[in-house]
Structures are given as structure tokens and as C-alpha cells.
Structure 1
Amino acid sequence: MATPGTDPLTREVVELIGSVVARYHDEYERAAAEHSLTGAQARVLGLLSLEPLPMRRIAHQLKCEPSNITGIVDRLEARGLVERRPDPGDRRVKLAAATEEGRGTARRLRESLDFAREPLAELSAEERTALRDLLRRMLGEQPES
């Protein structure tokens, strides 16, 4: 009997997951470049188009260092897509927020995506739920109650 890491089905599933990730990433990077953004800038702008966030929270959500986010926000701010403002709840904290132009750019970027906008479009709600639960299990997370 083959070990779990070498059986053909496991290899195929791993390759398919890699293909989905690569396709999503490639399309997102291409769409970002069409808006003269890097992929990282587009992801930050996308988050900020939903709500203003402190730098540390952006870094946490994107799983990177806060210093990287500072540079990205600096470049987005120089283009007029993002602004920094004090947090109304704690004036010591600065929030990064998309400007009106930034929200419009983020919307146009989302609209230009096909597969990356809705990679699960071909799956039913039941299939998406099953996939979510399986992925959570793979990651060692508890299922939703």
C-alpha cells in the first residue's frame, strides 16, 4: 500500500490545489498591473476599500510585517488612493483609508477579475460548504457549529 504522500489521488489533489492558487494569483497580478499596481498594493487597497484599518491589522490579515505595509500605504497615498487619518477611538493610532479614487480603483479592479473574483462560481452552496469544511479540517481548525 502506498504511503499517503505518494498515492496518485493525493498527488493529484495537491497539484489541483496548487493550480487553483496559481491561477488565482496570476489573474490577480495581471489585473493589478492593468491598474498600475503591484499585487500587494491591490490587496491592501482592496482591504481598505471595505473599511479603514490600522497598519498592524492590515499586516496581520495579509500575514506580513507592518513595515512592509507602511511602504505599500506610502506608495498608495502618493497616488491619492489612500489617506492616513486618526482613529476616532484612539487618537494615538493612525488608520489607513481608501480615498474616493481608491475605492473606485478597487471596484474597477474587482470587476476586471474573472476566475479570481469568484473561483468557486461553478460550485453549489452545498459543495462550497463541504470544501470549506474539508479545508478547515486540513488546516486543523474546528468546524463551524
Structure 2
Amino acid sequence: MELLSLSLGVYYGDFTAAAASENLTAIQGKTLTVLRRGPIAMRALAEIMACDASNVTGIIDRLEKRGLVRREPSASDRRVTNLVITPEGEQLSDAIRAKMHTTRDGLNRLSAEDQAHLSTLLKRAFLSCPPPPNDP
């Protein structure tokens, strides 16, 4: 647990600094990362981000002003607003990842085989986990 905590701390610090270098908060950068998976409803994004829907509205407003995301009505339910990352948002997300030198250097110390094994282990450990509760 301690090593997992240490690695997550290094990743989070690296990600936060890289996002800040692009004039984004960590939560704005994380939002772009989540939206890379595809369009998502505002409420679902709030659940993934473990925050109140009103907070997501503010985050999206700021990202939308910069042209990094856009809102679209759902094709199946016009009451639902989906969030979509723009090409500019994808480029900025790529730029953030490219600036995560500490994380990248750490992973590059592993062989390709070790990286694949680590990926397999992390998927097995965490992909089937339920999302954390909103209240600590």
C-alpha cells in the first residue's frame, strides 16, 4: 500500500505541475483526461470526478471558454447534455502528458515486458472496483 501511495503521489504531483504549465488546474486536466474516453453526460462526469454536479458546471464553463470542450445534446435524450473534448482539448491533454517527465522517466526504467506486466496487474486490481463514494 505504501508503494502504491508513493507512486500515486509522484504521478499526481507530476500531473498537477504539467497541467499548471498549461494554465489548467489539476481537476481541469483530469476532466480532459476523462473526456478522452468519449462523450459523457454531465452527471456521469460528476460521479467519475467524485464531485458535485454544480462543481462540474464551473469546470466545464472554464474549459469551454478556452475551446477545449463543448456541450452537445444527447441524441437519445434531449434533456441530457453530453460533454465532448475538442481537437484543441486533445492536443492540450497530449501536451500535459508529454510534460510528465518524472512519471515517464520512472516507467521508462522498466522493460517493455515489465510495463506490460504492470499494466496487466493494475487492470486486474482496479478495473472492476466500484467508484469511490462522494463523501469521505
Residue correspondence of structure 1 range 1-145 to structure 2 within 5 A = 14-116=1-103, 122=110, 123-130=114-121, 133=124, 135=125
Please tell me the residue identity of whatever aligns with 1:33: A
Helix, strand or coil for the counterpart of 2:20? helix
Cα RMSD of the aligned pairs, angstroms, is 2.5
Please tell me the residue identity of whatever aligns with 2:50: K
1:80-124 C-alpha deviation (Å, 9 max, x unpaired): 111111011211111111122112111221222235469655235
When normalised by structure 2's length, the TM-score is 0.76
Aligned positions, number:
124
**Taking every aligned residue pair, what percent have the same amino acid on both sides?**
35
- 1:94 to 1:119, Cα distance in 2 relative to 1, 3 A: farther
Give the number of the structure whose alpha-carbon radius of gyration is greater. 1
Q: Which runs of 5+ in 1 are unaligned?
A: 1-13, 141-145
Q: Which has the higher contact order (CA 8 A, sep 6+)?
A: 2
- 1:80 to 1:125, Cα distance in 2 relative to 1, 3 A: closer
When normalised by structure 1's length, the TM-score is 0.72
In 2, the alpha carbon distance for the partners of 1:118 and 1:56 equals: 36
For residue 125 of structure 1, report the CA deviation from its aligned partner: 3.2
Counterpart of 1:10 in structure 2 is none
Runs of 4+ in 1 over 3 A off after TM superposition: 114-121, 124-133
1:44-96 C-alpha deviation (Å, 9 max, x unpaired): 01222331211111112222222211110011111111111101121111111
Please tell me the residue identity of whatever aligns with 1:67: S
Counterpart of 1:143 in structure 2 is none
Q: Which runs of 5+ in 2 are unaligned?
A: 131-136
Asked whether the 8 Å contact 2:15–2:97 carries over to 1, the reply is: no
Helix, strand or coil for the counterpart of 1:90? coil
Asked whether the 8 Å contact 1:86–1:94 carries over to 2, the reply is: yes
